[in-house]
Amino acid sequence: MRRELTFLTALWKANLLAAMEYRVSFISQVVGMILNDGVYFLFWVIFFDRFQKVRGWGLTDMFVLFGVVATGFGLGVFLFGNVLSLSEIISGGRLDYFLSMPRSVLVHVLASKCVISGLGDATYGVISFLFARQYRVDAILRFLVGSLLSMIIFLSFLVLVQSLSFWMGNSTLLSDQASNAIVTFSLYPITLFDGTAKLLLFTLIPAAFIGAIPAEFIRASDWKQLLWLLLATLIFLTLSIFAFHRGLRRYESGSAIQTQV
């Protein structure tokens, strides 16, 4: 475990240094993403200015929700950037390099790339949480735990969906749709959805566990939500690791010459 962490830290450091090589591009992507998220959030500022509350959700709740989703998503794609392109790597037969290394294939492939804009998302998430004015130490700790679990569930869900490429071939479109759907639905108040839609958001597209449940845990200090969150993390993490390793048995090399930089 400790060796894996040392390895991960070294990978992240190398990724960060490589990203910062192009300083202007790095800054423009981080700042651009903060602005991008901020402009998107203005929708909710305007919406709640006009309608005040919708089924118990107000602007402060949205600050917490955006805080936890943006931090979880941002850290996830910054630290494990290949989670967005795993499907392409599998179907393109580009896992050979990782298979030849004495490290966990899944962890290695995911952390081999960083999506720079993710750092902007994560920064925006922290800013959004600050706007929610929950400055107590316990609230900050809940925010950190909630964001971490949100990140793990998001990563696990994407690994699970993208692992379908081992069986289906190129499933990039499906992966893109799944990624968009989970982020989009996680940014809406869960109280908007009833019946079947709500069931889907807790199972097939677990957006509730990325956004609403951790937000509820942070906001209302509801420990029952933490238990749900931990249970969901355990289930999705186990499923994703199982699906990836099961799929790996079916992997076929692309026999292409690859360079890993």
Partner 1 sequence: MQLWKTTYRAAGTESINGLTLRDTLWYLMLAETIMLSKPRVSRTIAESVRDGSIAYLLNKPYNYLLYQVSIGLGDSLTHLIFNIAFGGIVVWLLVGPPPDPHGWPMVLLTMVIAWLLDFCVNALIGLAAFVTEEVSAFEWIYSKFLLLLGGILIPLDFFPTWLRSIAQALPFAYTIYGPARLFVDPEIPRFLSLLFGQISWLCIMGLVVIYMYRRGVTRLSINGG
Answer for the pair 218, 139: CB distance below 8 angstroms, yes or no. yes
Residues 191-210 that bind partner 1 (CB under 8 A): 192-193, 197
Per the structure block, which two tokens stand in for 41?
């959030």
Nearer to partner 1, 3 or 23 (CB): 23
> CB 236 → partner 1: shortest distance, Å?
24
Beta bridge partners of 218: none
Binding status of residue 54 toward partner 1 by CB under 8 A:
yes
- How far is it, in rounded angstroms, from Cα 191 to Cα 171? 32
Among 5, 51, 102, 260, binds partner 1 (CB under 8 A): 51
Q: Which stretch binds partner 1 (CB under 8 A): 44-52, 103-111, 123-131, 140-148?
A: 44-52
Binding status of residue 35 toward partner 1 by CB under 8 A:
yes
Nearer to partner 1, 29 or 225 (CB): 29
Among 12, 14, 18, 36, binds partner 1 (CB under 8 A): 36
Binding status of residue 230 toward partner 1 by CB under 8 A:
no
Binding status of residue 5 toward partner 1 by CB under 8 A:
no
Answer for the pair 13, 111: CB distance below 8 angstroms, yes or no. no
Among 8, 33, 119, 215, binds partner 1 (CB under 8 A): 33
Nearer to partner 1, 156 or 179 (CB): 179
Nearer to partner 1, 197 or 204 (CB): 197
- How far is it, in rounded angstroms, from Cα 46 to Cα 52? 10
Q: Which residues contact 122 (CB under 8 A, 6 or more apart)?
A: 70, 71, 74, 75, 78
> CB 191 → partner 1: shortest distance, Å?
8
Q: Which residues contact 218 (CB under 8 A, 6 or more apart)?
A: 64, 67, 68, 134, 139, 142, 143, 146
Residues 90-149 that bind partner 1 (CB under 8 A): 117
H-state helical runs in the chain: 2-20, 23-51, 59-79, 86-91, 96-99, 105-111, 117-131, 137-162, 165-168, 172-186, 195-202, 207-210, 212-220, 223-248
**Under rule CB under 8 A, how many of the chain's residues touch partner 1?**
26
Q: Which residues contact 173 (CB under 8 A, 6 or more apart)?
A: none
- How far is it, in rounded angstroms, from Cα 97 to Cα 83? 17
Binding status of residue 169 toward partner 1 by CB under 8 A:
no
> CB 60 → partner 1: shortest distance, Å?
18
- Tell me which residues touch partner 1 (CB under 8 A): 22, 24-25, 28-29, 31-33, 35-36, 39-40, 42-43, 46-47, 49-51, 54-55, 117, 188, 192-193, 197
